[in-house]
């Protein structure tokens, strides 16, 4: 019988995790010699490829020396913690990849902490040892210190270390002598990661992730922890609340290479499989014996820390660009997302076309919005709000542990920016003219910080943060955004008008773009808002000027990414998002209505 090793891969964003998996797949000759292979095939949706991050965890398997190794890819970003916690439940050990130059980063700590709490055996890969000025030995020591600070056991601290370069395609015991390939790494996995041992007893399989097929519907993915799963047999679903539903495991699939293969044989405990035909299941449910069902403990997921209002599009340009524009379509899509996105919650509000969506951070929510716009949805979103709790009668807010790496000359600017947002310095280290700064800062203080940080440090800052916990409310932040330039009328932006208004502020729209009344078209130089008309053309008369018309020299318009816009808007603004356009607008488009409401609030 083939031995099974289930191994989860942990790494900070951009430390080479997906590239290393590519190398392993090439090593075991998963592809024919003449087969054309794209790079980074684990990042298989467009968003993951564009951003270079892993969002959804995925499974691939390789066979090496009569052993089947199931490799589970995990997201490195703490906004996707919901994904991480589930998939670690399927693993016997973890492969921790760290950059030889940067060492372990805060996001790595987040996933590693979960793995150590679950008692998984770690193995360390120090990657990118061919980088200039890198210090692989120090990176390895930092990993040891990190594991020690996370209360790892003696056995976990006695971890094997492999050095190499995934990009160059080699792994070995020593970083100064490159080897031919990644065989050494595979041998170490077989030697140090414990095999899945079959457990006798009645069937138990916890559903840890979902797949979807347009032909067969929802597919349950998980590891058989006890007994064996027989395809086509009757089973019980033990729900989170303890209720039991009888159903049938119609078809079972095993992960082979990059795909799934249907199997007629019973699936032993320790193996990861996909089951089709189950009805009414959710993530965290247990597939158990039909006669004597016993449930496993449901998965606990960290609470959301941020909320946003999602509203169906009601702007003057509604329905021009998208396929799905009604509030019912937006509602159905959001509730469908909660089935597989564990860390997301959706609540209906008093208004039929408005929904409150709770998530783990700006990136978590922006990935959902970006996915919806690519599917053809039109929607509007409000300003992100942190979730405030009352603990022991005190108003508390989420606090983040923030680390910033910058050249030492910019450290003063960074400290000034963060402390203005109620941040507290917890540690400062300077080495080789690079400063490593650690802060505790309220989650709401991070909104809009990245742009200012990159501007102040000339693009040199490397920022990372993770949730520390809830602490008493820190008071108002000392951060004010300039006012907005608002369009007075609907029409096409004219170069002549924009040129004449350039002294009022910076524009977000270019000549020829269509705008509507109430749309935010730029940033005013002062704190209050200003309504202007940029669709006015030059009046022609038969009087000739003495000189020729002066040429218009218009500064390029500022174009926001979705995350930048989410961090930029104020609480009286929405971002209108359609498949091809993104506009910032006032919630109340009519100028008199805005003034009346502002007056009512001030009174």
Beta-strand pair 121-127/161-165 = parallel
Residue tagged 């008493």 (tokens): 472
Rounded CA gap, 76 and 100, in Å?
17
pLDDT confidence tier of residue 550, bands split at 50, 70 and 90: low
pLDDT at 107 over 70: no
Binding residues for GTP: 14-19, 127-130
- Burial class of residue 255 in the structure, from the number of CB atoms within 10 Å of its CB (0-12 exposed, 13-18 middle, 19+ buried): buried
CATH classification code of 389-472:
3.30.70.240
Alpha-helical (H) ranges within 4-76 are: 17-27, 46-51
Computed over every residue of the chain, the mean pLDDT equals 80
Per-residue pLDDT, averaged over 52-72, amounts to 69
Quick one: pLDDT at residue 577?
A: 92
Residue 82 has pLDDT above 60, yes or no: no
Give pLDDT tens digits for 328-380.
999 998 988 877 676 788 988 888 889 999 987 777 788 889 889 888 999 99
Stated as kind and residue range, the H or E segment containing 339 is helix 327-340
| Helix-helix angle 327-340:362-374, to 10 degrees | 120
Helix or strand (DSSP H, E) at 598: helix 591-602
Q: What is the DSSP letter of 361?
A: S
Task: Give residue limits of the domains in the chain.
Answer: 3-192, 204-289, 389-472, 484-539+551-602
Between 41-50, 110-119, 232-241, 445-454, the lowest mean confidence (pLDDT) is in 41-50
Report the alpha-carbon distance of residue 215 to residue 168 in Å, rounded: 41
For the segment 512-539, the average pLDDT, to the nearest whole number, is 86
In the prediction, which pLDDT does 30 show?
52
Q: CATH code for 204-289?
A: 2.40.30.10
pTM of the complete model: 0.69
| Cβ neighbours for 401, distance < 8 A, ≥ 6 positions apart | 106, 426, 438, 439, 440, 465, 466, 467, 468
CA distance 103 to 101: 6
Interval 435-454 mean pLDDT: 83
* Structure-token pair, residue 91: 């693993």
The CATH number for 484-539+551-602, chosen from 2.40.50.250, 3.40.50.720, 3.30.420.130, 3.40.190.290, is 2.40.50.250
Q: Give the distance, in angstroms, between the CA of residue 379 and the centroid of all CA atoms in the same chain.
A: 20
- 3-192 against 484-539+551-602: fold identical: no
Tokens 């390029």 found at: 556
CA dihedral (44, 46, 48, 50) positive or negative? positive
10 Å Cβ neighbour count for 247?
Answer: 17
Q: Which residue has the higher pLDDT, 53 or 441?
A: 441
More confident call, 416 vs 130:
416
Question: So what's the pLDDT on residue 356?
Answer: 92
Vertex 309: Cα angle to 308 and 314 (nearest 5): 145
Please give the full DSSP string across 390-438, using - where no structure is assigned: EETTEEEEEEEEEEEEEEGGGHHHHHHHHHTTT-EEEEEEEETTEEEEE
Q: Which residues are annotated as a binding site?
A: 14-19, 127-130
What CATH number was assigned to the domain covering residues 3-192? 3.40.50.300
Q: What pLDDT band is residue 301 in, cutting at 50, 70 and 90?
A: low
- pLDDT average, residue stretch 252-273: 81
Q: Please give the residue that has the higher pLDDT: either 300 or 246.
A: 246
Instruction: Dihedral sign for Cα 327, 328, 334, 337, please.
Output: negative
What pLDDT does 380 receive? Answer: 92
pLDDT digits (tens, 9 = 90+) for 372-420: 988 899 999 998 888 888 888 888 888 888 888 888 888 888 898 888 8
Tell me what the mean pLDDT of segment 506-516 comes to. Answer: 89
Rounded-to-integer distance, Cα 482 and Cα 526, Å: 6
CB atoms within 10 A of CB 599: 9
């Amino acid at each position: 019988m083939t031995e099974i090793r289930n191994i989860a891969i942990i790494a900070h964003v951009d430390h080479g995790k997906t590239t290393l998996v590519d190398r392993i797949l090439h090593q075991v000759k998963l592809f024919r010699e003449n087969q054309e292979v794209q790079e980074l095939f684990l990042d298989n949706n467009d968003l993951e490829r564009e951003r270079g991050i892993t969002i959804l965890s995925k499974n691939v398997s390789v066979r090496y020396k009569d052993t089947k190794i199931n490799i589970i890819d995990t997201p490195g970003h703490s906004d996707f913690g919901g994904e991480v916690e589930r998939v670690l439940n399927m693993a016997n050990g973890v492969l921790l990849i760290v950059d030889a130059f940067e060492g372990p980063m805060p996001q790595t700590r987040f996933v590693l902490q979960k793995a150590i709490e679950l008692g998984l055996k770690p193995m360390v890969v120090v990657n990118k040892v061919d980088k200039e000025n890198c210090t692989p030995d120090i990176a390895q020591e930092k990993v040891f210190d990190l594991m020690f600070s996370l209360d790892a056991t003696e056995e976990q601290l006695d971890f094997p270390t492999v050095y190499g370069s995934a990009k160059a395609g080699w792994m070995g015991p020593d970083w100064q002598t490159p080897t031919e390939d990644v065989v050494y790494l595979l041998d170490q996995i077989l030697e140090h990661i414990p095999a899945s041992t079959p457990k006798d007893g009645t069937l138990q399989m916890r559903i840890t992730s979902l797949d979807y097929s347009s032909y067969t519907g929802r597919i349950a993915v998980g590891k058989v922890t006890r007994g064996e799963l027989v395809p086509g047999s009757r089973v019980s679903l033990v729900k989170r609340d303890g209720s039991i539903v009888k159903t049938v495991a119609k078809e079972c699939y095993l992960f082979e290479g990059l795909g799934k293969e249907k199997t007629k044989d019973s699936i032993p405990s320790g193996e990861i499989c996909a089951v089709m035909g189950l009805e009414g299941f959710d993530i965290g449910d247990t597939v158990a014996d039909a006669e004597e069902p016993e449930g496993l403990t449901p998965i606990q997921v960290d609470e959301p820390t941020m909320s946003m209002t999602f509203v169906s599009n009601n702007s003057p340009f509604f329905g021009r660009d998208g396929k799905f524009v009604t509030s019912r379509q937006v509602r159905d899509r959001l509730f469908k997302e909660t089935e597989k996105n564990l860390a997301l919650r959706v609540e209906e509000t008093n208004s039929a076309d408005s929904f409150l969506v709770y998530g783990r951070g700006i990136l978590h929510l922006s990935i959902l919005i970006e996915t919806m716009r690519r599917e053809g949805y039109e929607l509007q979103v409000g300003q992100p709000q942190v979730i405030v709790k009352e603990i022991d009668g005190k108003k508390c807010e989420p606090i983040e542990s923030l680390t910033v790496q910058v050249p030492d000359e910019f450290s003063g600017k960074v400290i000034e920016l963060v402390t203005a947002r109620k941040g507290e310095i917890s540690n400062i280290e300077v080495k080789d003219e690079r400063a490593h700064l650690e802060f505790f800062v309220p989650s709401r203080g991070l909104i809009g910080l990245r742009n200012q940080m990159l501007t102040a440090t000339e693009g040199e800052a490397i920022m990372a943060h993770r949730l520390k916990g809830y602490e008493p409310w820190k008071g108002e932040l000392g951060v004010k955004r300039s006012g907005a330039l608002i369009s007075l009328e609907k029409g096409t932006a004219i170069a002549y008008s924009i040129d004449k208004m350039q002294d009022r502020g910076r524009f977000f729209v270019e000549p020829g773009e269509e705008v509507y009344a109430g749309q935010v078209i730029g940033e005013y130089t002062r704190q209050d808002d200003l309504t202007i008309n940029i669709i006015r053309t030059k009046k022609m008369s038969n009087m000739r000027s003495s000189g020729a018309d002066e040429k218009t020299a218009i500064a390029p318009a500022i174009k926001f990414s979705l995350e930048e816009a989410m961090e930029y808007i104020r609480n009286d603004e929405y971002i209108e998002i359609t498949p091809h356009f993104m506009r910032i607008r006032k919630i109340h488009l009519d100028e008199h209505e805005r003034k009346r409401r502002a007056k009512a609030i001030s009174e």
